[in-house]
Amino acid sequence: MTGARVAARGWGWRYATRHAWAARGLDLDVAPGERILLAGLSGSGKSTLLHALAGVLGGDDEGEQEGSLAIDGDDPRDVHGRAGLVLQDPDTQAIMHRVGDDVAFGCENLGIPRDETWRRVSSALDLVGLDVSLDRSTSALSGGQKQRLAVAGALAMQPGLLLLDEPTANLDPAGVIEVRDAVARVVEQTGATLIVVEHRADVWRGVIDREVRLGPAADATAADFGGIGFEHREARGPGADAPYSSTPLIDARALTAARVKGKPVAGPVDVTVRSGEVLGITGPNGSGKSTLGRTLAGLLPPARGTVRASDELRGGAAPEPIRWSSTQLLTRIGTVLQSPDHQLLAKTVREEIEVGPRALKLPPEEIARRTDDLLARLRLDHLAAAHPHTLSGGEKRRLTVGAMLATRPRVCVLDEPTFGQDPQTWREMVGIMSSLSDEGIAIVAITHDFELLAALRARELRMGEAP
């Protein structure tokens, strides 16, 4: 394995459904074996560039390209196995049921002989420090283990270029260190060129040689890594004298949560969700935080115990949120899932925000007013006509939050609400959540972002290891 050289000259890409360019006028040189952190505002084209280098952007029917982009002098679309891409969400990357088969998948697609494939599988797992049986179920791995598995799958193809798109975004603090250290070992021992997209620059200090920043117009500037740091995050929390009565809205007793019947992953817990309060659910990957959140939100039935809504919240509906219809949930409990792609339904950003209000049969003028307000607040108004799946990860997250807020629920359950956000949009997201809390709306935030919880003065419910 040898490091690849990357060169871009006036490169740009525009998705077929978009008027604006996702990236444009990019000039970039990355030497073989160099380690680059790619930074910039949400939507500045970072993920688009990584996908282009991996050769997965598609042909002319999916978008328009200008300028040139090359790996060792060749168009990335013509080079198979030279670049390995690891995506943001560890839960969406496992392809096969067993660990060994998953790591071998890429090699098999490249036609690598069987004996060589399995030699590479063992070597790649050793490099990332994933010491589990080859027969281990990929679904049984923790978040940090799944991300190391994804890195191993890329390495087994022996790419000269390793591309990581926010590989630590959804990991607990221990998982972040695991993945970072695994990547550091890999590039040290293999000499592969590394390009990593990450908003948390401090995580990669000591691993990265320099930072390349994509500006709002996707023009690249470079500086020594130590010379650029993200500004300190500051955000206001709810005032000490909040203009609401902190009344119980949801009460859970001896609650055990499970996604699959008979296989509990969280609890038992006693917890009350109160109006105007921010409840932060924290804990390591695999401890059942998301499952608990979906159970409180009425999307999963309790495995054991009870979840009951107050008379004020249910407003004549059944006491248990799991018995509510989808329309009843819309104005009572709104949910944003961890992966934005699992929640996008419409053909445009505007239509996505309109889904809930239309289901409530609101007057057209009210739908338009709410939609315009949310598009502006979330800085998505310039993308109103874009297809949701062409947005960046951070933009998709803001869109799913907007779609939830459009129906004005009394309780908001947000799974990793600051996922994919740059410092500016992070502050804006915290400001929105703070305003909701000030209005008496209850917020349940499932997160590893302790700065978020501090900014919102949240009450913490920490989950332990899965039972």
Segments of the chain assigned to CATH 3.40.50.300 = 6-227, 248-462
pLDDT in tens, 324-337: 998 999 999 999 98
Q: Which residues pair with residue 365 across a beta bridge?
A: none
Q: What is the pLDDT of residue 357?
A: 94
Residue 369 clears pLDDT 50, i.e. is over it = yes
Of the options 3.40.718.10, 3.40.50.300, 3.40.50.2300, 3.30.70.600, the CATH number for the domain spanning 6-227: 3.40.50.300
Q: Which residues, 6+ apart, have CB-to-CB distance to 250 below 8 Å?
A: 272, 273, 296, 307, 308, 309, 310, 313, 321, 333, 411, 442
Q: Which residues, 6+ apart, have CB-to-CB distance to 196 below 8 Å?
A: 35, 36, 37, 38, 163, 164, 167, 183, 204, 208
Q: DSSP 3-state assignment of 402?
A: helix
Q: Is the pTM of this model over 0.95?
A: no
**From its phi and psi, is residue 395 left (phi > 0), alpha (psi between -120 and 50) or beta?**
alpha
Q: How is residue 458 annotated by DSSP? A: P
Q: State the CATH architecture for 248-462.
A: 3-Layer(aba) Sandwich (3.40)
- What does pLDDT average to over the chain? 84
Number of H helices, E strands in the chain: 13, 17
**Closest alpha carbon to 335 in 356, 349, 351:** 356
pLDDT in tens, 384-393: 998 898 887 7
What does the block give as tokens for 34? 């160099």
pLDDT in tens, 116-163: 999 999 988 888 888 889 999 988 787 678 888 888 888 888 888 999
